[in-house]
Amino acid sequence: MIVTLMNLLRACWRPSSNQHARAGSDVAGRQDGLLWYKDTGQHVNGEFSMAVVQANNLLEDQCQIESGPLSFLDSGPYGTFVGVYDGHGGPETACYINDHLFHNLKRFASEQNSMSADVLKKAYEATEDGFFSVVTKQWPVKPQIAAVGSCCLVGVICGGILYVANVGDSRVVLGRHVKATGEVLAVQLSAEHNVSIESVRKELQSMHPEDRQIVVLKHNVWRVKGLIQVCRSIGDAYLKKSEFNREPLYTKFRLREPFHKPILSSEPSISVQPLQPHDQFLIFASDGLWEHLTNQEAVDIVHSSPRSGSARRLIKAALQEAAKKREMRYSDLKKIDRGVRRHFHDDITVIVVFLDSSLVSRASTYRGPSVSLRGGGVNLRSNTLAPYASQM
């Protein structure tokens, strides 16, 4: 069982390598202190830019872009898959998603020989079930893994259609050109599941009418059972299965009363829409970006600058805002090491996907460049890792 956990965690500690990147120059991206980035690359439907900045002692954000076959069939769908996984309580769930979600999607796309909302839903279910198997195996020796979870945002471009699936509070925003004015407007495409949003609180309360404490205002922040801000996630077994909400789980995660149905859900909100010629780019990012930039501010930054380095530019803008809020210089913020850095901003992941309308409109069987790339992080020696209890 310990071997299983260590194999899972090694995937998180290892920075990007050629095994995860097989196209273009600078295939694995570059590392600059706590920032990992790949300024530009080519996917089936255009160009892309990626960047990740670490704030936590252990990087809890994971991400990937996969462009090429979306199934295991030669005749199957072809396109681009983007995933942003914002972990909480530790990196294990986000790492597991990074290793298994795309494989699960290809499996179900092969069964249906197509891409669909149903394929995405089944891929999420299979990934949740798989991680719960890990939790079950590790519970006797590592019970705190039951309190680890992750938001999960996915976008799939296939045959001129954009599929978006989300649990948690990561976000994808579309930059759409308005011909009449020349502006590029921000259009949010993902539904978020954070109980700071009144409609989300009301939905959760309607699902648990018997529990008047299902959402609690704690330290001026709304939280599910006073514990967590998101009401949908992958993992977080301690709020989905009562057998994981007991000793030896830490007291702060244990509820006073037993529960008989899941408190959190892993069911994604899914949207399906055709891409239009005036749809210029997509910004996929964890909530660490959106804490500091509005949708329109992010779109304006991408639209007004060269494509190369777009993701890194967005992270810089967010960090500049974080420094400004603390009345400090951006240059001084960059000197703060991981762990302490979390007091100033969260881990931030950004993937900007540019849309070439001539490529997007082609059939899903178009064979363009294949890409498989994961965002990187600081490579930590095993004896330098802080215990997960301190990360929760």
Helix axes 92-112, 117-138, angle to 10 degrees: 140
- Looking at residues 287-316, what average pLDDT do you find? 97
**Gap between the Cα atoms of 98 and 228, Å rounded:** 22
Is 85 a member of any domain?
yes
Query: Can you tell me whether residue 184 is helix, strand or coil?
Result: strand
Q: How many domains does the chain have?
A: 1
pLDDT tens, residue by residue, 194-205: 999 999 999 999
Is 134 a member of any domain?
yes
pLDDT at 258: 87
pLDDT at 382: 31
Is 5 a member of any domain?
no
Give the CATH number of the domain where residue 291 resides: 3.60.40.10
- Looking at residues 5-25, what average pLDDT do you find? 43
Is 114 a member of any domain?
yes
Helix axes 2-13, 117-138, angle to 10 degrees: 130
pLDDT at 378: 42
Is 152 a member of any domain?
yes
Mean pLDDT of the chain: 88
Q: What is the pTM of this model?
A: 0.89
The burial class, CB within 10 Å (0-12 / 13-18 / 19+), for 248 is exposed
Is 214 a member of any domain?
no
pLDDT at 28: 79
Helix axes 92-112, 2-13, angle to 10 degrees: 90
**Gap between the Cα atoms of 342 and 92, Å rounded:** 18
**Gap between the Cα atoms of 188 and 37, Å rounded:** 24
Among the residue ranges 63-77, 151-165, 255-269, 363-377, the one predicted with the least confidence is: 363-377
pLDDT tens, residue by residue, 52-73: 999 999 999 999 999 999 999 9
What ranges in the chain are assigned the alpha helix state H? 2-13, 92-112, 117-138, 198-207, 287-290, 295-303, 310-325, 330-333, 357-360
- Looking at residues 85-96, what average pLDDT do you find? 96
Query: What is the tally of helices (H) and strands (E) in the chain?
Result: 9, 17
**Gap between the Cα atoms of 274 and 286, Å rounded:** 24
Q: Which domain holds residue 285?
A: 32-184+271-316+346-374
Is 266 a member of any domain?
no
Among the residue ranges 79-88, 283-292, 364-373, the one predicted with the least confidence is: 364-373
Is 219 a member of any domain?
no
